[in-house]
A and B are shown apart, each in its own frame.
Chain A
Amino acid sequence: MSAEDDHSVSPLPPAALDDPHLQPYARRPEAAQTVAAVAMVIGFLGFIGFGVSYWVVASTQWQAATFGIGLFGFGFGVTAWGKYLMPQGPFVEERHQFHSTEAERDAMTAAVVERGGMVVKRRKVLGGLFALGSTAMGIVLLFPLLRSLGPKPGRTLFQTNWKKGSKAVTINGRQVYEEDLEVGGVMTVFPEGFEGSSPDQVILIRLADTTQPLSAPGRTSWGVAGYVAYSKLCTHLGCPVGLYQEQTQQLVCPCHQSVFNVLAGAVPEFGPAPRPLPQLPITVDAQGRLRANGTFDQAVGPGFWERP
């Protein structure tokens, strides 16, 4: 029975001490009280213990043990008190219909449709202006809310800092020389001056002592001295393709297990990656330093709408 329905004075049923509904649920209330009391004492001691272990800067485990066991014990005691020692019931509560009467619904509908409709119909100009004004406000609000957040993509996604002649350096900015890697070795390199830059990361692999022709057509001159260089960004979701398996000549992305064939121009052989890793043409200058011999011929990383 809800408070709104009934404002008359209605008697509640008499309840006497021996009413079974008011008896504790436990058959042996004294025993239940002892259990609840012991649990609450454990809780109390746990809380004190937590205070002490904090004071003496005890380990995290000690703090957790005292506080956690304290909370659990205390909670167990309070729950047992409620479950076994408070009136067992069962008690009942009537539901009431909370929907309105048909007349009340009609009155509401009439107020909205007729009163509101009348106002709008009689003043169509004002209604139209209100709609126009609030729409305009909503649209112009989007500019600061959305447009201020960041720059437009433009051509950014198609560009890297690799240019023809860029020196390949390690993350620490150290120049990479031809003799730096053994056959089977890999290294992450960046264009000089952009160490650590995400879109520029390139994985350098030494396949052999002499230039290996890739099975990708037209890329014979893209490698040098047994080195090949690929964008390290997975074409699936942009994770660094960090695992190189020399025996099978595969690059594996640890995120979603896309596998790329290094000898075939890093074409995906397996997994969700849709495209080969873009290859960076490289060369060795007179001092034996590795340099880019051009730039990527396509956007690096995962796919996006503007990509042709």
Chain B
Amino acid sequence: MIDESLRWVDDRLGIAKGGRTFLDKIFPDHWSFMLGEIALYSFVVLLGTGVFLSLYYVPSAHEIIYHGSYLPLRGQRVSEAYASTVGLSFDVRSGLLMRQAHHWAADIFVGAIAVHMARVFFTGAFRKPREFNWIVGVTMLILAIVNGFLGYSLPDDLVSGTGIRIAYSIIESVPLVGSYLAFFLFGGNYPGSGVIIPRFFIIHVLIVPLILLGLLGAHLGLLVKQKHTQFPGKSKSERNVVGSPMFPTFMAKTTGFLFMTTGVIFLLGGFVQINPIWQFGQYESYKISYAVQPDWYMGWLDGALRIMPSWEWVGWGHTIPLEVFLPAVIFPGIVFNIFYTWPFIESRHTKDLAYHNLLDRPRDRPKRTAAGAAMLGLLGTVFFASSTDVMANFFDLPLMGVLWFFRIAVIVVPIVSYFLAYQICNELRQAEGLGKRKRALAVTLTESGEYRTEESEPRPGDGAGVELEPVPVPAFIDVVPPELATGEGVRRVMR
């Protein structure tokens, strides 16, 4: 049956040869390779739940009277976008579950991309020949953040509306063309001509996901074409890949992992409330809520805006709001440009033009690890700076003190992180046998009163001779008794 259908397809498309190679594709066994899978599978959940939500959401700023089942809102004037989001939460069966799972999946998606990127960075997986895939990955990170912000803005609730207002002012801050850009995007002076919600909607559900899907195809296509990197180890070299085959082992593991990731997202979606817009209320441009925080992946930009001094530039009849333009446009621009160009910065610095398929241990590249730690220190500091007001309240500190703490920390933390990481790497490199399990020493007292120490037997996991030599994936399992299997009668296949 399978044989026949395969023949039919192969006659027309010739897939058997390449298909067989694909089924034999080797996936290295290491936990850190799952991080990208988390991102992939949360994207799958985003597409699924997003299609569900788009069937009920109405992208319109048109005002109506709310008549749904949520009593505190009844009779209030709200936008169709807000009413339909509350409606799909309360009046559509499973709607709240889907909406909250969608929001959690988005937060996990960006988080998984960030951690996956850190793994790729600290192990040097971006080096030649994988610079293209690094660039594709950074682009997907930016698009994920952008689309997260757009989706968060769609319900037209008080908190997200404040975010849109801030976005408008950030666009307005661009020298020369800022007010034109803002007027074109919003259809006029804030809040514009009511076009922003439908525009955000089509960008959120069509344009960005389409680009993301294309880049995802490129990301995985390059992965298959260039094959996986791997950590150094027994029989592993620059010229091979050691691990489990695509079919059936990896396919089973990864399918199971898809289910598990989805399960965790839905558990969060049902048990951990996220973005309860019916508590915030409809957005009105003159209303504001206290302790307004965006989704976590926007926190670093919000923090940068908070700690920036009020340096507005005025001269020659013009104004450049540097207190907005620097932290909200130039700062992320610099950060993402460092991300994009890092493979080239590093290879220029190391003068290393060789192919690299074996990964580095972070400690073996102290400068790169220290640079990564400094970047994480910088981003982490501005991230925490986005909650200055909450911290000041919680710890009962003066707001001005908290702000000045972060203004100093944003310079000190990256520098300290750099030297600390550099030092830790160097000391780790000098320690012998670190990370390997030590054998137990048995101390015995002999009859003559002597003490003797004996090394105990190796246990599984000690790494002494328990690993098998890797072999190519066999075509089939020979059913002849093993004592007769001498190579005779082994099927030959075109490879």
Q: Which residues of A contact B (CB under 8 A)?
A: 1-3, 6-7, 9-22, 43, 54, 57, 60-61, 63-65, 67-83, 86-95, 98, 146-147, 149-153, 156-157, 171, 188, 196, 198-199, 201, 232, 236-240, 242-243, 254-258, 268, 270-275, 301-308
Instruction: Specify which chain A residues have a CB less than 8 angstroms from the CB of B139 in the assembled complex.
Output: none
Tell whether A303 pairs with B324 under 8 Å between CB atoms, given A91-B470, A237-B165: yes
In the complex, B495 has a CB within 8 A of chain A: yes
| Given A72-B267, A81-B252, 7 further pairs, Cβ under 8 A | A9-B492, A18-B482, A79-B260, A196-B286, A254-B288, A301-B190, A304-B173
In the complex, B400 has a CB within 8 A of chain A: yes
Instruction: Specify which chain A residues have a CB less than 8 angstroms from the CB of B225 in the assembled complex.
Output: 98
In the A-B complex, the 5 residue pairs with the smallest Cβ-Cβ separation, listed nearest first, are A64-B270, A75-B259, A82-B252, A79-B256, A15-B474
Tell whether A21 pairs with B471 under 8 Å between CB atoms, given A82-B253, A92-B235, A150-B183: yes
Selected contact of B239 from candidates A94, A157, A255, CB within 8 Å? A94
In the complex, B210 has a CB within 8 A of chain A: no
Selected contact of B317 from candidates A61, A67, A150, A308, CB within 8 Å? A308
**Among B92-100, B113-121, B423-431, B447-455, which stretch is in contact with chain A?**
B92-100
In the complex, B347 has a CB within 8 A of chain A: no
Check B321–A304 contact: CB distance below 8 A.
yes
Tell whether A91 pairs with B178 under 8 Å between CB atoms, given A18-B482, A198-B190, A303-B312: no
Check B21–A3 contact: CB distance below 8 A.
yes
Nearest CB on A from B42, distance (A): 13
Selected contact of B227 from candidates A13, A95, A258, A273, CB within 8 Å? A95
Tell whether A65 pairs with B270 under 8 Å between CB atoms, given A150-B185, A270-B400: yes
Check A10–B165 contact: CB distance below 8 A.
no
Check B471–A69 contact: CB distance below 8 A.
no
Q: Which residue of B lies closest to A6 (CB)?
A: B495
Q: How large is the interface on B (under 10, 10 to 19, 20 to 34, 35 or more residues)?
A: 35 or more
Q: Which residue of A lies closest to B166 (CB)?
A: A237
In the complex, B381 has a CB within 8 A of chain A: no
Check B324–A257 contact: CB distance below 8 A.
no
In the complex, B475 has a CB within 8 A of chain A: yes
A-B contact count (CB 8 A): 358
Q: Which residues of B contact A (CB under 8 A)?
A: 17-18, 21, 24-26, 29, 93-94, 96-97, 100, 129, 162, 165-166, 168-170, 172-180, 182-193, 195, 225-227, 235, 238-245, 248-253, 255-267, 269-271, 284-292, 302, 305-312, 314, 317-321, 323-324, 357, 388-389, 399-400, 403, 467-468, 470-480, 482, 485-487, 490-495
Q: Which residue of A lies closest to B493 (CB)?
A: A12
Tell whether A254 pairs with B253 under 8 Å between CB atoms, given A18-B482, A236-B324, A275-B312: no
Instruction: Specify which chain B residues have a CB less than 8 angstroms from the CB of A98 in the assembled complex.
Output: 129, 225-226
Tell whether A2 pairs with B21 under 8 Å between CB atoms, given A81-B256, A150-B184: yes
Check A68–B266 contact: CB distance below 8 A.
yes
Check B311–A274 contact: CB distance below 8 A.
yes
